[in-house]
Structure 1
Amino acid sequence: MVELECEIYYRTKQKNHEYFYYEFSDVKSVFSNVTEPYLEKVKNIEDPILQHISLYLVHNYNNYKPDFSDTGDYSKNEACKNLNRWIDKEKSIYTRATKCSKNKDAWNKHIESLWEKLQINNNNGKKCNRYEHFSNTTTFPDELKEYTCYQHVPENYTCTAPQVNSSTTENPCSNCITTCPPCKNNCTNSESTIQSSYLTSTPDNCATICTQMCPDGFPSLIPTVSISVCFTLLGVFILQFFLYKVIKNVLL
């Protein structure tokens, strides 16, 4: 009951440190003050954590802007002071006290630049200057010294394993079976002749390689060559016989 009465008191009567500390730390369910042009900048942030923090920053800044001063001085203004302390706490958590360099770069790119945009758009009214309170000398327990900075990965990110060169692992005969006529049991895998040819082969010259590996899987050319040689020899013999007759008749 006492806590509820204190909360009502801070909300209605006195806006002091405790009041703004509670307001900036409170979990929001509606971000009604996040409108253009800030909404477009927030949408372009891919990191879901930074996007969430940016929503809170715009909401808190715009919602409590009437409590800021005309000069933007934070030292004598509880609203501006607590907003700076709140954003410092978020930065310390996200960047691990600036020890995660990539997270620090992302923070400066999205969050600090967003604060600057809020400042520029409120240049003629009440505003809050940015001032860092937290220290980057934060020490962590010894058990966490091997800490690896978390790299945020989009949900739809596809991790592809390095492509393996299948030409160095596949059996030449197995590829021959799918692209050439079936080989018989005498198919061989000679490292010196067959595999070396296979590593540089393409589907167009696979027939030649399969012939080297599985000669019985293709028709033999020996009968055709033998017939051609016989006809050639017969023609030569007939020609010689004809020339012999002609020369003999001339001499007689």
Structure 2
Amino acid sequence: MGQLNGKNALVTGATSGIGLAAARRFAAEGAHVFITGRRQEALDEAAGSIGEDVTAIRGDVSNLEDLDHLVDVIRRHGGGLDVLMANAGGGEFAPLGAITPKHFADTFNGNVGGTLFTVQKALPVLNDGAAIVLLGSTAATSGTPAFGVYAASKAAIRSFARTWAVELVGRNIRVNTLIPGPTQTPGVEGLAATPDEKQALLEGLASTVPLGRMGRPEEIANAALFLASDQSSFMTGAEIFVDGGAQQV
């Protein structure tokens, strides 16, 4: 039996990287998976790679109307939500002296606001006993030059998990934070402007990991499955680091 047989799961930002890997893993374990993304072409491609038991909804988590539409689709499908993985988000480098109001607003609206309002809007369709998985980052616990706004947004996500775990305990809804370490995803690679910068970035990130390499999205997805399933039934308000030892050793 699959660990998520008969369950409905939502993964936001699931067109690539960790989100797509998690959606594939959830579907392989028996869940019907709802996925979101901002680009229709990428969303269609992602859905095709997951299989038949998937519903793809184009939308931006920082847009409240898009979130309302997402929840409406889930409601009409029936069965509510058993798993919500708030994965959508991203960031860009900007040193302290170059941070602009737009950079700050875009990062916080996407990462913090997007996570907050995704969970809030989904509350009416979340089943009692559901699992919420929030995506944090090791950047929130270590200083990375020019990455301060992103790091602060991910620190807010960790704080949300603590508060929501207490607020939702009456419905037996568990809220935990998954903390990936440096992971080779299109989003990370997109932080570099040129192929040479990309190579330097990836080598630099790998050098910070005691295991000597970057993580694979599938490795993060395995931990996401643990938090989404009954295997983690005695966990809430916690954080799991999947970082190759980067913040542990």
For normalisation by structure 1, the TM-score amounts to 0.30
Which one has the bigger strand percentage?
2
Kindly indicate whether structure 1 or structure 2 has the higher relative contact order, using CA contacts under 8 Å at least 6 residues apart. Answer: 2
For normalisation by structure 2, the TM-score amounts to 0.30
